[in-house]
Amino acid sequence: MTDIIQLLPDHVANQIAAGEVVQRPASVVKELLENAIDAGATKITLVVKDAGKTLVQVTDNGIGMSVTDARLCFERHATSKIKSADDLFNLHTKGFRGEALASIAAIAHVELKTRTEASEVGTKICIEGSEVTSQEAAVVPKGTTISVKNLFYNIPARRNFLKSNPVETRHIIDEFHRVALAHPQVAFSMLHNNDDVFNLPASNARQRIVNIFGSKTNEKLVPVSEETEIVKVEGFVIKPQYAKKSRGEQFFFVNDRFIKSPYLHHAVSNAFEGLLKDGLQPGYFLFLAVDPHSIDINIHPTKTEIKFDDEHAIYAMLRATIKHSLGQFSIAPVLDFNKDSGFDTPYDYSKKQPVAPTIEVDKNFNPFQKESLQRNNSAGYKREKGSSWESLYVGLKQEEGVVSGLENIEFESEEVSGRLFDTAVDVDGQITFQLHNKYIISPIKSGMMVIHQHLAHQRILYEELLKNITLQEAVSQQLLFPLTLHFSNPDLEILEKVKEQLEHTGFAFSEIGGEQLSINGIPVNLLESQVGDVLERLINDIKEEVPDAGFSQNDLLAKSMAKSMAVRTGTALNRSEQEHLVNQLFACKEPSIAPNNKPVLVTFDVTDFDKKFN
């Protein structure tokens, strides 16, 4: 048999390597920023167009490259940073694998302009799909500018795989934050489509954090500082009372490199134990310095995971140090999570005369139609044709005389409901009970139905919110004193974009800007104490997925708010609350699935039980 193994041509090898190093525009941002840091730059500018899909450009004032180096830097395994395998365990640079520029040049149009201090003229090189298309002498400032255009131009599958611009921009900003936080002594700026996004002067760690996350962050930081033989820890944790539901600000840096470490995260969470309400996440910016010999960075192509020789000792030290810092700043005693929730009841609500709903709704209008059709196809969910929920109960009443309120389904659905539990539904026979503060069990004609209370309430609120946003008819509860909340400016911009929809749910804003938000009115079924959580989750959800079409943005907003507002698992519901929830659920257009596509309820047949007793 003839030999069949061949060496891959370089450009193919580079494209394959690129698959590992460059997943999205943000990966290019990371590699270029890190190269600029390694080049000793004190000022770095990032310019991005169309979320990096059209252009990612990094300019630095670092050491620059000679003509030969400018040509060589695009070769695979070409690096000035290590010379032998031993150097891998004595790294003082971000890069060392020598594959970033080769990979990027294989899948984009790249232009490099560079000049060293010593030479008067610099070099300009253009390279496309690993082919050098031009090289010439050029008059350029000292330092390096690399422009990466049309990423994945020759790999359409990868290009099509990229997410929407807001999502890709989010990833870029995350990478920018990580490098900028690790190097506060370097000035950074970022422009996106010619708009200034960040302008960070050289400063210290605390100032850098504040410049990125907003001036209100300053008072939230508790300093952490400790040094042992194996590790030095500096940085800050966020005071527990400012903890967020979302992962938010969680940063580990080891020797000035951002890393992900579930293990060390656990150490921090552990130190916060007892200080955070359920479901809240600790925030932290922790800078660890260890002997480069004691870690292995070369375990992942993107170098965001590392292996420590002495992981356990670092864990223990980190936990103890953070506990100590939190204690020293007497965080623990000022916390009072058990305060009387009565204080949070909106003061004006009890006195307020409920406004009789006067909205005339077009009964045939169904904003969910398009969506439920999609669901039927994609999630394989099918609502049985011709089956209506009322029929589940038909006969039950006559047989047992216990159903009440269900015949009012039609009426209920047209009501602009107030808060979930303010209307006691008087029933004269028990038809529901609650199991483990999580499920509501209800007998039905064929057997029994188990309803997930949190998901059911999500469905109810989701339909109601979506209706309000679409019909623009929500009732708002006016606040006696405006509520002021603090957010970073980028987060406020996100809220600004959905301001109108929020107003349709019942929010009224008097001021947005300058890192704060003043609220005069909130939706009727929302507690004032929930407002912060609702908006925070919303910002986060939008950051993660920003749909472009108007309809789906409304949908996202309704889903996000419903999720924050829905009654939690673990909440005890009395009988009339249970009944009310069930009634409202069956007044929904799509009672059986939650907005996140999970089932809201399951039914069990009496015959199933019969079999068990045989």
Q: What residues make contact with Mg ion under the rule CB under 5 A? A: 35, 95, 100
The CA–CA distances, whole Å, from 502 to 481, 538, 542, 547, 553 equal: 19, 10, 13, 16, 11
Residues 96/78, Cβ–Cβ less than 8 Å: no
Q: Shortest Cβ distance from residue 102 to ligand ADP (Å)?
A: 6
Is 65 a binding residue for ligand ADP by CB under 6 A? The answer is yes
- The candidate with the shortest Cα–Cα distance to 439, out of 328, 571, 552, is 571
Is 105 a binding residue for ligand ADP by CB under 6 A? The answer is no
Considering only residues 25-44, where is the footprint of ligand ADP by CB under 6 A? 31, 35-36, 39
36 or 271: CB nearest Mg ion:
36
The span of 98-106, 329-337, 354-362, 496-504 binding ligand ADP (CB under 6 A) equals 98-106
110 or 427: CB nearest ligand ADP:
110
Is 61 a binding residue for ligand ADP by CB under 6 A? The answer is no
3-state secondary structure 343-380: HHCCCCCCCCCCCCCCCCCCCCCCCCHHHHHHHHHHCC
The listed partner (ligand ADP, Mg ion, none) that binds 175, CB under 5 to 8 Å by sort, is none
The listed partner (ligand ADP, Mg ion, none) that binds 63, CB under 5 to 8 Å by sort, is ligand ADP
Q: Shortest Cβ distance from residue 69 to Mg ion (Å)?
A: 13
Is 63 a binding residue for ligand ADP by CB under 6 A? The answer is yes
What torsion, rounded to 10 degrees, do the Cα atoms 304, 305, 310, 314 define?
Answer: 60
Strand, helix or coil for residue 306 = coil
145 or 321: CB nearest ligand ADP:
145
Is 127 a binding residue for ligand ADP by CB under 6 A? The answer is no
CA distance 116 to 60: 12
In the list 28, 44, 56, 101, the residue contacting ligand ADP (rule: CB under 6 A) is: 101
Is 144 a binding residue for ligand ADP by CB under 6 A? The answer is yes
The span of 96-104, 310-318, 515-523, 535-543 binding ligand ADP (CB under 6 A) equals 96-104
Residues in CB range of 595: below 8 A, 6 or more apart: 458, 459, 462, 558, 559, 562, 563
Is 97 a binding residue for ligand ADP by CB under 6 A? The answer is yes
User: Hey, how many other C-beta atoms are within 10 angstroms of the C-beta on 131?
Assistant: 10
In the list 49, 71, 81, 324, the residue contacting ligand ADP (rule: CB under 6 A) is: 81
The CA–CA distances, whole Å, from 448 to 289, 434, 443, 451, 609 equal: 60, 13, 4, 10, 10
Phi/psi of residue 41, nearest 5 degrees: -65, 150
3-state secondary structure 92-152: CCCCCCCCHHHHHHHCCEEEEEEECCCCCCEEEEEEECCEEEEEEEECCCCEEEEEEECCC
In the list 48, 51, 96, 522, the residue contacting ligand ADP (rule: CB under 6 A) is: 96
Is 175 a binding residue for ligand ADP by CB under 6 A? The answer is no
Site size toward ligand ADP (CB under 6 A) is 23
Count of residues in the chain: 614
In the list 52, 60, 212, 308, the residue contacting ligand ADP (rule: CB under 6 A) is: 60
Interaction site with ligand ADP (CB under 6 A) = 31, 35-36, 39, 60, 62-65, 73, 78-81, 95-102, 144
